[in-house]
Structure 1
Amino acid sequence: MHIVINIICWLWVGWVGFNLFMVALAATVLPVHQAHFDGFRARLPTWLPELLTSDEIAAVISHEHGHRHHLHVWTNLALRCLFLNPGARRRRRQEIEADDFAVAHGHGRHMASALRKLSSHPDDLSRAERLEQM
């Protein structure tokens, strides 16, 4: 029985290590295709200034800092390490929390405008409508 528990523990340590490695990989090596918070800093694609105004970029950065403020990357990592999928509903809620952070820092209208320019996905359009009503 002791050997089985040892094996299970080492497998879990490997799983945690793999997930930490993936966070580090995303933060250092992978190219940036969309704005995101990688667990350490907000990352923006180089093409973003071609599409958004400086106020909209500030709103996107504020939104990404909302992910940092709420520890979304680390919460999702902890869930994955416990073999739980963060799920679409949690991810939508996290996006709204990050939007609310941007609103609290005076970027609501510009965040709505940036969302409309960056995406035609129904969830993003719904978030933009919500921001415009705040």
Structure 2
Amino acid sequence: MEIALQVAAAVWGAWIALNLLMVTLAVTILPVQQVHFDGFRARLPTSLPTLLAPAEIAAVVAHEHGHGHHLHTWTNLVLRCLLLTPGPQRRRRQELEADDYAVARGHGAHLASALRKLSSHPDDVSRAERLERM
């Protein structure tokens, strides 16, 4: 039984190390393919200014700062280290919390416009519609 616990602890430790490595890679090496908050700062692809107006970029950055304000990246990392996955309901709630953070800073209309320009995914369309009603 003791060996089984040691093996389980070693596997779990390796899993945690892998997750921390992925965060490190995202922060330091990996190219930015899409807008995201990496746990430390908002990351924007270099193509964004060709797609969005300055006010829309500011709204997207405010949204990403909302993820930072609510510690979404770190909460999700802890969940993954505990062998849990942040499911679709949690991810949707996190997106809405980040949207609300941007709205509270006066970026609602521009965030809705940016969402419509960047994505046709039904969740993003729904979020844009929600923002336009606020």
TM-score normalised over the length of structure 2: 0.97
Pairwise CA distance, 1:49: 0.4
Deviation larger for 80-89 or 3-12: 3-12
Whole-angstrom CA distance in 2 between matches of 1:27 and 1:92: 23
Q: Which amino acid letter does the alignment assign opposite residue 61 of structure 2?
A: I
Q: Which amino acid letter does the alignment assign opposite residue 43 of structure 1?
A: R
Match of residue 126 from structure 1: 126
Match of residue 59 from structure 2: 59
Aligned residues: 134
User: What SS class does the counterpart of residue 45 from structure 2 fall into?
Assistant: coil
Q: How many percent identity over aligned positions?
A: 69
Whole-angstrom CA distance in 2 between matches of 1:8 and 1:34: 35
Whole-angstrom CA distance in 1 between matches of 2:21 and 2:39: 12
Q: Which amino acid letter does the alignment assign opposite residue 51 of structure 1?
A: L
Q: Which amino acid letter does the alignment assign opposite residue 74 of structure 1?
A: W
Please list, as runs of the form range in 1=range in 2, the aligned pairs for 1:25-104 lying within 5 A after superposition: 25-104=25-104
Structure 1 unmatched ranges of 5 or more: none
Pairwise CA distance, 1:88: 1.3
Pairwise CA distance, 1:22: 0.5
Pairwise CA distance, 1:4: 2.2
Whole-angstrom CA distance in 2 between matches of 1:125 and 1:14: 39
Whole-angstrom CA distance in 2 between matches of 1:33 and 1:7: 37
Whole-angstrom CA distance in 1 between matches of 2:111 and 2:53: 11
Pairwise CA distance, 1:2: 2.4
Match of residue 14 from structure 1: 14
Whole-angstrom CA distance in 2 between matches of 1:73 and 1:24: 13
Runs of 4+ in 1 over 2 A off after TM superposition: 1-4
Pairwise CA distance, 1:56: 0.3
CA RMSD of superposed structures (Å): 0.8
Q: Which amino acid letter does the alignment assign opposite residue 19 of structure 1?
A: N
Pairwise CA distance, 1:68: 0.4
Q: Deviations over 1:50-99 (max 9, x none)?
A: 11111000000000000001111111111111111111111111111100
Structure 2 unmatched ranges of 5 or more: none
